[in-house]
Amino acid sequence: MPGRTRTLPTIPQADVASHNTAKSCYVTVGTKVYDITPFLEDHPGGGDLIVEYGGKDVKDIMDDTASHFHSESAWEILDDYLVGFVATESVMKSVTDSTHPADIVPLPPSETGAEQLRKDGVNQPLYENTGMSCEEDLSKETDATSDYRTHKFLDLNKPLLMQVWRGGFTKDFYLEQVHRPRHYKGGDSAPLFGNFLEPLSKTPWWVVPTVWVPPVAYGTYLSSQGLSTAGLASYWIIGLCIWTLVEYVLHRFLFHLDQYLPDNRVGLTLHFLLHGIHHYLPMDRLRLVMPPTLFLVLATPFWYLAHAVFFYDWNAATAVFCGGIFGYICYDLTHYFLHHKTRFWDWVFKTELPMTPPKVIKTT
């Protein structure tokens, strides 16, 4: 996954003001500096109008609807040309007074500045596919309004499933966006259905063993009535091994078969419901394990399949099925705790890893 850095330089006010021609035209909005030279010919009002404001702040004229209305798209286009930050007197005074100047403005991209940025942890790789630079970014709250305005995908404040259904997204766009992780405000769960089905989509981790361990234990007991201990163990372990194959096949040939995913709203919506939401909101602790209702639907065919394959012995088929379900329980809990785990035993055994606050990459 190729990385790219996005640390931007500070530019002196006088330097910004000198870029006021069609060959090199800078404008500012507050402390942000934009090199809009490539956009001059594409500006609906003509490039000459922009050059008039070359080297100057354009916020007032951008906001002036009487002069020319600028939509949100215009502001988004402007963001594509961000090249740095203007070092105004007030900003430079803050930098001078601060003991951590790099927290206020990025340092210039000189060898000395780059080295200092590396020491401060500011110049981190920003990965293009995910829009993130480190693991801690998974837990940084996503600005729902800004995210929707920028990517035109899903509004985290509204029920997600119907947005996928009605969005008219192409498969390529959907896959690109669903694999860019978001984190819902406050660590809560984003709305999926927005109606009475909502509670069925949220499952605390402890529900999985609570609901499924008793049936597995009971089924194993019933099987033991018609099998020897060795036979019961053998069939049960066969079921456990079959689960590992089923899990691989589901992920390899269903959940992650992007190339063959149907390019229509039915295929995309089903993908999002069954697996895509996990990639989209990977730190949603209530959607990391499978809801019992959904698992019951998915597991029922395997009950009949087990009894069709091991038709010669009901007890053997039941033992195989119970072993498989136990494998699922272990998988789902392992999956959950790889994302969310308590540090209790780390405290007990003094094995805690030092957790330092994540550094903020200065891109705006």
- Per the annotation, binding residues for Zn(2+) are 251, 256, 275, 278-279, 335, 339
CA 120 to chain centre: 25
111: exposed, middle or buried (Cβ count in 10 Å: 0-12, 13-18, 19+): exposed
The DSSP element (H or E) to which 3 belongs, if any, is strand 3-4
**What is the end-to-end Cα distance of the chain in Å, rounded?**
23
Query: What burial class does residue 9 get, using C-beta atoms within 10 Å of its C-beta: 0-12 exposed, 13-18 middle, 19+ buried?
Result: middle
Give the closest residue to 104 by CA, choosing from 31, 17, 12, 29.
31
* CA nearest to 208, candidates 310, 287, 135, 118: 287
* E-assigned strand segments in 79-184: 82-87, 126-127
Give residues with Cβ within 8 angstroms of 179, minimum separation 6. Answer: 129, 130, 279, 280
Which residue numbers belong to the known binding site for heme?
A: 43, 70
Round to whole Å and give the CA distance between 127 and 248: 27
Q: Look up residue 200 and give its two tokens.
A: 């069925």
**Which residue positions form the known binding site?**
43, 70, 251, 256, 275, 278-279, 335, 339
Helix axes 207-224, 314-339, angle to 10 degrees: 160
Helix (H), strand (E) at residue 177: helix 171-178
- Distance, in Å, from the CA atom of 156 to the CA atom of 44, rounded to the nearest integer, reads 33
Integer Cα distance of 233 and 227 in angstroms: 9
